[in-house]
Amino acid sequence: MTRSDGGRRGPALYVVAAFAAAIVVGTLALMVPYARAGHGGAPPLVALFTATSAVCLTGHVVVDTSSYWTPFGQTMIVLLVQVGGFGIMTAASLLALLVSRRLGLRGRLLAASETKTLGLGSVRRVVVGVVVLSVIVEAGVAVVLTLRFWTAYDTALHSAAWQGIFHAVSAFNNAGFALFPNNLTSFVTDPVISLVVLVAFVLGGLGFPVLFELRRTWRRPRRLSLHSKITLWVTAVLAAIGVGAQLVLEWTNPATLGPLAVPQKALAGLFQGMTPRTAGFNTLDFGAMNETTWLVTDALMFIGTGSAGTGGGIKVTTFAILGFMIIAEARGANDVDVAGRRVAPAAQRQALAVALLGVGVSFLGTLLLLATSGIALDRVLFEAVSAFGTVGLSTGITAELPGPAQAALIVLMFIGRIGPVTAASALALRQQVRFYRLPEERPIVG
């Protein structure tokens, strides 16, 4: 006999349908002639690409946001970004809540003692928490950026306020949209703008469960759940790798860090080392970077940020669980133990499934782009992984891609934004309990 929860697939499908509906509405809004600065409305592909990029919090663009779109069009973009960020944080947190509630009484109590956030919390608490968190962070970032644009760059107050609000929303939601033709490259030496934007997208990428738990237990860090500990530690390690790689590999590159003074190199390296975690902003030209830097960035973009956050990728917890599985196997251990806790076999299988799905989607996307564009593999791979990881970084080829390749990027962005969340939750909700086990046999591995 088996007991299956296969009928509980609805919530994940609702998330997909909701994001698809938001993209359709956004596309129609951007096709309105009033949204485009030039004559007539935006072509359907341009509108669809931009709406998908905004809702999926990617930041890939095929037109210049500052000059192609009117204030109305820019407002639509930032609203789509806000909807996408709020939607993914809320949906991922609620799906995690639903998964924990499917564990049964004993499992729920254990989850509650571990997470202190999503185990027995209410839907209202999650939604209100996400809204309050978003408003507080975005408002604070908007005020600082507004004052900086106004006082340091001789920008009119109303324009500075709009730039502050736009970039605050874009940063916290890890969207990467900017109101400047070259993103944030003009501010590569500005510590205020660089650091404030960096803090915003790091907070958004950690995820609501981690931030909520940090607020409650910041005086007692040992009481953090295993999820939060993994997220924080792996985020710190990957950030160090990203920053170190940027500084080492680009230190003498005359097109990136080379001309800058040492303190400016440190600032630019810090910012660019963190953005591959799905932020999408750039203060340096990625198209001028070394191929080795691209490869390191590919890996960081694929891994992504924390679960239930505004970032993408397969998530740091997925990556960490796979690493712990390898360590346990190398030691010959029967269980995967982390920080005094045993990782459930179901979580191990889900991590493996999500990672392999990510590899497969990224491979197919790269293959499609390579076949339809004729551009070199290293640039195409960077573009595909950036789209799947909902990062938005580019070597400068996005606008040059033919229609079929841009359509492939649209699919990659959508799968990358929705796929890991829905795949993980669907796998958890469909977990079966068998009351018998088949005879064991071991195929040859390796």
Q: pLDDT at position 399, please?
A: 92
Q: pLDDT at position 104, please?
A: 42
Residue 241: CA count within 13 A, CB half-sphere: 16
Q: 114 versus 288: which is more confidently predicted?
A: 288
- In the three-class reduction of DSSP (H, G, I as helix; E, B as strand; rest coil), residue 433 is classed as strand
When pLDDT is averaged across residues 252-275 and rounded to a whole number, the result is: 95
Q: Which two tokens stand for residue 358?
A: 């990510």
Q: pLDDT at position 300, please?
A: 95
Query: Beta 337-338 vs 2-3: how paired, if at all?
Result: unpaired
Q: Which of 107, 65, 119, 120 is nearest to 346 (CA)?
A: 107
pLDDT > 90? residue 69:
yes
Helix (H), strand (E) at residue 341: strand 341-342
- Split at pLDDT 50, 70, 90, the class of 435 is low
pLDDT > 70? residue 429:
no
pTM: 0.86
When pLDDT is averaged across residues 64-84 and rounded to a whole number, the result is: 94
Q: Which of 84-88, 209-213, 390-394 has the highest mean pLDDT?
A: 390-394
Q: pLDDT at position 15, please?
A: 74
Q: Which of 436, 429, 446, 428 is nearest to 349 (CA)?
A: 428
399 contacts 63 by C-beta, under 8 angstroms? yes
What is the distance between the alpha carbons of residues 334 and 327, in angstroms, rounded to a whole number? 11
Mean pLDDT rounded to a whole number for the chain: 85
What DSSP letter does each residue of 356-370 carry, written as one string? HHHHHHHHHHHHHHH
141 contacts 170 by C-beta, under 8 angstroms? no
Q: Which two tokens stand for residue 151?
A: 């006082």
Contacts of 92 (CB under 8 A, 6+ apart): 207, 208, 307, 308, 309, 421
Q: pLDDT at position 340, please?
A: 83
What is the distance between the alpha carbons of residues 80 and 320, in angstroms, rounded to a whole number? 31
pLDDT > 50? residue 114:
no
Domain parsing of the chain, residue ranges: 2-433
Lowest mean pLDDT among 66-70, 88-92, 212-216, 244-248: 88-92
Q: 259 versus 108: which is more confidently predicted?
A: 259
pLDDT > 80? residue 247:
yes
- Split at pLDDT 50, 70, 90, the class of 8 is very low
Contacts of 139 (CB under 8 A, 6+ apart): 168
pLDDT > 60? residue 105:
no
- Split at pLDDT 50, 70, 90, the class of 128 is confident
When pLDDT is averaged across residues 101-122 and rounded to a whole number, the result is: 40
Lowest mean pLDDT among 42-46, 53-57, 324-328, 424-428: 424-428
- Split at pLDDT 50, 70, 90, the class of 424 is low
396 contacts 364 by C-beta, under 8 angstroms? no
Radius of gyration of the chain from its Cα atoms, rounded to whole angstroms:
22
Sign of torsion over alpha carbons 223, 427, 21, 409: positive
Q: pLDDT at position 117, please?
A: 41
Lowest mean pLDDT among 43-52, 106-115, 295-304, 396-405: 106-115
36 contacts 42 by C-beta, under 8 angstroms? yes
pLDDT > 70? residue 420:
no
pLDDT > 90? residue 101:
no
Lowest mean pLDDT among 99-103, 200-204, 215-219: 99-103
- Split at pLDDT 50, 70, 90, the class of 10 is low
Q: Which two tokens stand for residue 147?
A: 């004052």
pLDDT > 60? residue 359:
yes
